[in-house]
């Protein structure tokens, strides 16, 4: 069992964040962030060609972090590889002693920095979960037997702000049936809507980790509302950001308030600081979370 899985099963309010592998081989910035936060968070999501932009393999980065006793969650997207390559990666991840995988369909390649790249999408996120489950049970998707089974704690993504919440719950149920053992969500800002979502999702009996992206400005919040499906940032928060002269403090205070409430609602928070990682330990300390790790 991974340390991350153990923490969830011990009902600790877990904290995760993201690290984006570099476009190149210089990992110095990524390692600085990891070392800054390793005593504050339970695990780091290692993104897979984030926003369809080519970067270093998340498996390589996860392995280097694992060697430093830093817990990784490898994100696997279906955009760039067929089922043979994805299953091969899952076996390789397990062989390296990495046990946490987040299964995702992935963004289309036409939004990235090389729009001529051909997308694959042989599988989607649900079928990738099925592939993980099949491998864990000793067979590949073609029903061929394995010599040794991978040990994987498999996760999926959820959108609590979906316009059709019941449809989202049904999709989550399908993911659980396919093998999802935890969920990380789209960013949460409206606690009432999130509570309503949780009331419907609780029957799934699967840990839910709420996403939160720190807001750097009112303009950023407005863009999120306009461009990210399911994200709903209340106007009072946007007004507070617009009127604030200290954006870092205001953003931190918003995060502190939300996380303090989320502690009593769900199983953890996936906190993304977008360059403000230095603020995360203080935010968690204000929420009385650091002592729980």
pLDDT digits (tens, 9 = 90+) for 145-154: 999 999 999 9
Contact in structure between 124 and 105 (CB atoms under 8 Å)? yes
Inform me whether the pLDDT recorded for 47 exceeds 90: yes
Distance CA 78, CA 131 (A): 12
Average pLDDT over residues 256-278: 96
262: helix, coil or strand? Answer: helix
Average pLDDT value for the chain: 96
The H or E element that residue 42 is part of is none
Distance CA 143, CA 36 (A): 44
Average pLDDT over residues 38-48: 97
Inform me whether the pLDDT recorded for 233 exceeds 90: yes
Domain of residue 117, residue span? 3-292
- pLDDT on residue 199: 96
Structure-token pair, residue 8? 């969830």
Count CA atoms closer than 13 A to 168's CA, side-chain side. Answer: 21
Contact in structure between 194 and 221 (CB atoms under 8 Å)? no
pLDDT digits (tens, 9 = 90+) for 97-135: 999 999 999 999 999 999 999 999 999 999 999 999 999
Per-residue exposure over 110-136, b if at least 16 CB sit within 10 Å of its own CB, e if not: eebeeeebeebeebebbbbbbbbbbbb
CATH (domain of 288): 3.20.20.220
Does this model's pTM top 0.75? yes
- pLDDT on residue 229: 84
Distance CA 114, CA 13 (A): 39
Structure-token pair, residue 119? 């997308």
Inform me whether the pLDDT recorded for 242 exceeds 70: yes
Average pLDDT over residues 263-271: 97
- The pLDDT > 90 percentage for the chain reads 96
Listed in sequence order, the residues at least 6 apart from 112 whose beta carbon sits closer than 8 Å to its beta carbon are 49, 51, 52, 53, 54
- pLDDT on residue 291: 52
Inform me whether the pLDDT recorded for 84 exceeds 60: yes
- pLDDT on residue 246: 96
Contact in structure between 34 and 19 (CB atoms under 8 Å)? yes
Count CA atoms closer than 13 A to 99's CA, side-chain side. Answer: 13
pLDDT digits (tens, 9 = 90+) for 164-211: 999 999 999 999 999 999 999 999 999 999 999 999 999 999 999 999
Report the number of distinct structural domains present in the chain.
1
The H or E element that residue 60 is part of is helix 58-67
Nearest to 157 by CA among 54, 47, 37, 234: 47
- pLDDT on residue 108: 93
Inform me whether the pLDDT recorded for 227 exceeds 70: yes
């Amino acid at each position: 069992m991974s340390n991350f899985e153990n923490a969830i099963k011990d009902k600790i309010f877990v904290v995760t964040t993201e690290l984006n592998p570099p476009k190149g081989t210089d990992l110095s910035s990524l390692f600085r962030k990891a070392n800054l936060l390793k005593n504050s968070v339970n695990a780091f999501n290692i993104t897979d060609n984030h926003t369809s932009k080519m970067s270093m393999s998340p498996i390589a980065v996860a392995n280097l972090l694992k060697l430093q006793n830093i817990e990784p969650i490898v994100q696997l997207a279906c955009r760039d590889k067929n089922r043979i390559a994805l299953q091969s990666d899952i076996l390789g991840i397990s062989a390296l002693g990495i046990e946490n995988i987040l299964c995702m369909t992935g963004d289309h390649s036409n939004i990235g920095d090389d729009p001529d790249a051909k997308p694959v999408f042989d599988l989607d996120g649900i079928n990738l979960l099925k592939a993980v489950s099949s491998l864990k049970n000793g067979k590949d998707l073609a029903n061929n037997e394995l010599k040794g089974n991978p040990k994987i704690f498999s996760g999926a993504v959820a959108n609590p702000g979906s316009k059709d919440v019941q449809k989202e719950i049904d999709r989550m149920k399908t993911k659980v049936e396919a093998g999802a053992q935890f969920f990380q969500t789209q960013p949460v800002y409206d606690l009432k809507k999130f509570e309503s979502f949780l009331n419907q999702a609780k029957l799934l009996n699967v840990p839910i980790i709420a996403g939160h992206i720190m807001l750097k400005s009112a303009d950023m919040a407005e863009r999120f509302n306009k461009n990210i499906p399911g994200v709903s940032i209340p106007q009072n928060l946007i007004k507070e950001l617009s009127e604030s002269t200290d954006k870092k403090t205001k953003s931190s205070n918003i995060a502190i308030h939300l996380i303090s409430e989320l502690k009593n609602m769900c199983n953890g928070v996936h906190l993304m600081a977008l360059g403000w990682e230095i603020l995360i330990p203080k935010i968690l300390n204000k929420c009385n979370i650091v002592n729980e790790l």
